[in-house]
Structure 1
Amino acid sequence: MAKNYGFLICILVMVMDIIAGILGIQAETAQNKEKPMKIWLFDCRYPSHQAFKLGVAAIILLLLAHAIANLLGGCICIWSRDQYRSATANRQLAVAFQIFSWIVLAVAFSMLIIGTLANARSRKYCGIFNHRFLFIGGILCFIHGLFTLPYYVSITAMRREEKRQQTLGPAVIRT
């Protein structure tokens, strides 16, 4: 009898994304606790080692959540419009959520990296506007979870559907 670990994987991925988001927001808070210094239009801050550590932890958890969902769910591709039209609803949903999760991952990862590297410097940094990279990256971690979870659910449903069709034999195609 095969065991279904899909529910546990969904919970694990969602918890990892939530913790990554919380860590990103806490990193922004730690960064804002550092002493600001204004020079004309520039807003200068000293780097925060606590913000750096929290940012690195958020990045690692975000990447782990994405890797777990994609490695255990599998990658699915549709190469043409005809394939997309003939695909089942679960396959279409899996492809859409996979694309959105990759886009959100790229933006969240970039934001977290920029915010974390700003705190890795050994000297103060200055900018014309107030950077909220860690906060935005943390919020995007939550959104990443909202796209990754349905991706994993739809891809497992698609695989079960395909397995059921293989055991029952080819279905009659209606035109």
Structure 2
Amino acid sequence: MARIVGILACFLIVVMDIIAGILGIKAEAAQNQVKHMRLWLFECKDPSHEAFMLGLIAATLLALAHILANLLGGCSICTQEELSKASPSRQCSLACLLLTWVAFAIGLGLLVIGTMSNNKSRASCGLTHHHYFSLGGILCFVHAGFSVGYYVTATAAQ
């Protein structure tokens, strides 16, 4: 029974991250369809409500997948001494946990920056904000891989 729950949890995490990644890439496409004028590094553009909503949903799904992965995988922080005595499976689990947090932090940051640049009240000129959504979407896929790796190695270490 626990094995079936683990497989379903991994499947749910991967599906949420994949949907978040696809929505991030679609938000990039929606952002590129709005009217904009570019002069060297500066750009004036209208915000896209569709890109804003897609980015908001993508960021929410990424956060939910991250929370689910950490709750199901268990959160056990070790000291340096415990880490050196830990089994290779436990060390791999902690490495995957660290990489999951890195992918989450950078991916969420990129999605939030892209989302905020498409807020209705931000119709202004400034430096170009290209590819934040698509890079955040790609990091959602990376997050899925590391989350599943973390869950599998954390449950194997127990």
C-alpha distance 143-45 of structure 1, shift in aligned 2 (>3 A): same
Write out per-residue CA displacement over residues 74-108 of structure 1, whole angstroms, 9 at most, x where no aligned residue.
1021211x312211121111100001110111111
- Residue of structure 1 equivalent to 2:29: 29
CA contact (8 A) 1:24 1:134 kept: yes
CA contact (8 A) 1:97 1:147 kept: yes
Q: Which stretches in structure 1 are left out of the alignment for 5+ residues?
A: 160-175
Q: Which has the higher helix share?
A: 2
Q: Which letter does structure 2 place at the counterpart of 1:141? A: C
Deviation at 1:126, TM superposition (A): 2.3
Secondary structure of the equivalent of 2:125? strand
Matched, 1:51 2:51: yes
The alignment's TM-score, normalised by the length of structure 1, stands at 0.84
Q: Distance in 2 between matches of 1:22 and 1:149?
A: 18
Q: Distance in 1 between matches of 2:96 and 2:148?
A: 9
- Residue of structure 2 equivalent to 1:173: none
Q: Which stretches in structure 2 are left out of the alignment for 5+ residues?
A: none
- Residue of structure 1 equivalent to 2:155: 156
Secondary structure of the equivalent of 1:131? coil
- Which runs of structure 2 are paired with 1:75-86 in the superposition (5 Å)? 75-80=75-80, 82-86=81-85
Q: Distance in 1 between matches of 2:135 and 2:111?
A: 8
C-alpha distance 11-47 of structure 1, shift in aligned 2 (>3 A): same
Write out per-residue CA displacement over residues 18-41 of structure 1, whole angstroms, 9 at most, x where no aligned residue.
110000000010000001123565
- Residue of structure 2 equivalent to 1:163: none
The alignment's TM-score, normalised by the length of structure 2, stands at 0.93
C-alpha distance 136-83 of structure 1, shift in aligned 2 (>3 A): same
- Residue of structure 2 equivalent to 1:99: 98
Q: How many residues align?
A: 157
- Residue of structure 2 equivalent to 1:116: 115
C-alpha distance 40-152 of structure 1, shift in aligned 2 (>3 A): closer
Secondary structure of the equivalent of 2:121? coil
Q: CA RMSD in A?
A: 1.4
Identity of aligned residues (%): 48
Larger Rg: 1
